[in-house]
Amino acid sequence: MERQSLAEFLEQSARAVVFTGAGVSTESGIPDFRSPGGIWTRMKPIMFQDYMASEDIRAEAWRRKFAMEREFSAAKPNDGHKAIAAMVSRGEVSHVITQNIDNLHQDSGVPAEKVIELHGNATYALCLDCGRRYDLGAIRESFAQSGKPPYCVACDGIVKTGTVSFGQPMPEGEMRRAEEAVLGCDLFLAVGSSLQVYPAAGFPLMAKRQGACLVIVNREETDMDCVADLVIHDEIGETLRPFL
């Protein structure tokens, strides 16, 4: 029997979910973690506990953040993001669950309520105590002047980018929304993820267990290729362009 194509899987699905990793944003110029030249080959991530324990480490985290921002703030959605946005707007995909923190799914036109951000968002900062939201521009200015990491004006709590660091608890609400979306889906399309970072990487298995089809688009092999119904080892933009 001829293997079903991605188009056929989408056609036969009533409730698809897309799950993305750093690979969907490399064509926008943001490096992933695990490819050669990826962020991890250049610097060690700062653990949440260390961020909380030391003002010097918080200052280092903000220095890195603003240095990276110069490089990445100009990033624009690529054809992969746009094709996924088109699938959402045609009603083929109910949710986009992402490990990315770059806001490019929202920038490509996916309504914010359909994007589930498992690892938060790097385009703003939050007080870790009261949840007050901060613009990065104001923090950048005061950091440039004082060299001190920011504290909350309302409660004096520690302020951190809206991302989930290693060692930091996963956001409960987003995990619950992701679980609901996965339990209700009949097709799980994983795009540009090495599927190595847990608990996020548990979602494709959860989808399979409850009877959904699993399709993986990734240039390299993943540990879950063997359980997938279709694996496409190719570039994301090229693979998804027909769905624009």
Which residues make up the interface to ligand NAD (CB under 6 A)?
21-23, 25-27, 30, 32-35, 38-39, 99-102, 119, 192-194, 196-197, 218-220, 235-236
Q: Which two tokens stand for residue 98?
A: 């992402």
Question: What's the number of CA atoms in the CB half-sphere (13 Å) around residue 44?
Answer: 5
Q: Which does 130 bind (CB under 5 to 8 A by kind): Zn ion, ligand NAD, none?
A: Zn ion
For ligand NAD, the closer CB: 4 or 35: 35
Give residue number: closest CB to ligand NAD.
23
CB of 38 to ligand NAD, least distance (A): 6
Residues at the interface with Zn ion (CB under 5 A) = 127, 129-130, 132, 152, 154-155, 157
Q: Which does 161 bind (CB under 5 to 8 A by kind): Zn ion, ligand NAD, none?
A: none
**DSSP bridge pairs for 232:** 217
For ligand NAD, the closer CB: 108 or 193: 193
Among this protein's residues, is 119 annotated catalytic?
Answer: yes
- CA 161 to each of CA 149, 150, 165, 243: distance values in angstroms, whole numbers, following the listed order: 11, 10, 9, 33
Q: Which does 61 bind (CB under 5 to 8 A by kind): Zn ion, ligand NAD, none?
A: none
Which residues, at least 6 apart from 67, have a Cβ–Cβ distance to it below 8 Å? none
Burial class (CB in 10 A: 0-12, 13-18, 19+), 118: buried
For ligand NAD, the closer CB: 98 or 152: 98
- Token pair 């799950």: residue: 19
Q: Which does 127 bind (CB under 5 to 8 A by kind): ligand NAD, Zn ion, none?
A: Zn ion
198: left (phi over 0), alpha (psi -120 to 50) or beta: beta
> Among all residues, which ones are annotated catalytic?
119
